[in-house]
Amino acid sequence: MKNNYEHLKETVGPGVFTEWQEVDVEIYAFTDLGIKVAINDEYIGLVYGGQVYKEYQEGQKLKAYIKFVREDGKIDISFQPRQGKHVFSTTDKILEHLKTAGGKSGFNDKSSPKDIENEFQVSKKVFKQAIGRLYKLGKIKITDKGIELIKKTQ
């Protein structure tokens, strides 16, 4: 499998990518550090294991984001867009989840990180930011049993 990726460059010069730029990646290896990806079929990037929230397969192609280009030119990649954007997409997932669950869910800021990851494919931190946002917008209420959609009375 390695043969297909020998042409990839390990490092990138300054200015080639911007932070949080969307790129096409293909997964080609799983290492102790995380997942190695081919970026735009030209460069090697790494998604750290602690930032992987669902199962991926070798050869899988997907959109990813340039998280950071290090001083040594190596590229850190994220499968999720920048936090702010990510929180918005997660609020949509949570609202959808609540609608499917009949307006109430046992998920809240006390839920285990693993359960949150399995249901929403995000970290607990992003989940908490998303429910905090929904709460501030008056779309949900947070109870000791979970979260609930607020029914608008008009």
Q: Are 59 and 105 part of one and the same domain? A: no
Q: Of 53, 78, 103, which residue sits at a domain end?
A: 78
Q: Of 49, 78, 107, which residue sits at a domain end?
A: 78
Encode pLDDT of 54-73 as tens digits.
Answer: 889 999 999 999 999 999 99
On the question of pLDDT at 1 being above 50, the answer is: no
Encode pLDDT of 79-131 as tens digits.
Answer: 887 766 667 788 888 999 999 999 999 998 889 999 998 898 888 888 998 99
Give the CATH number, domain containing residue 57: 2.40.50.140
Examine residue 154 and state whether it is found in any structural domain, yes or no: no
For the chain, the three-class secondary structure string (H helix, E strand, C coil) is CHHHHCCCECCCCCCCCCCCCEEEEEEEEECCCEEEEEECCCEEEEEEHHHCCCCCCCCCEEEEEEEEECCCCCEEEECCCCHHHHHHHHHHHHHHHHHHCCCEECCCCCCCHHHHHHHHCCCHHHHHHHHHHHHHCCCEEEECCEEEECCCCC
Q: Are 65 and 90 part of one and the same domain? A: no
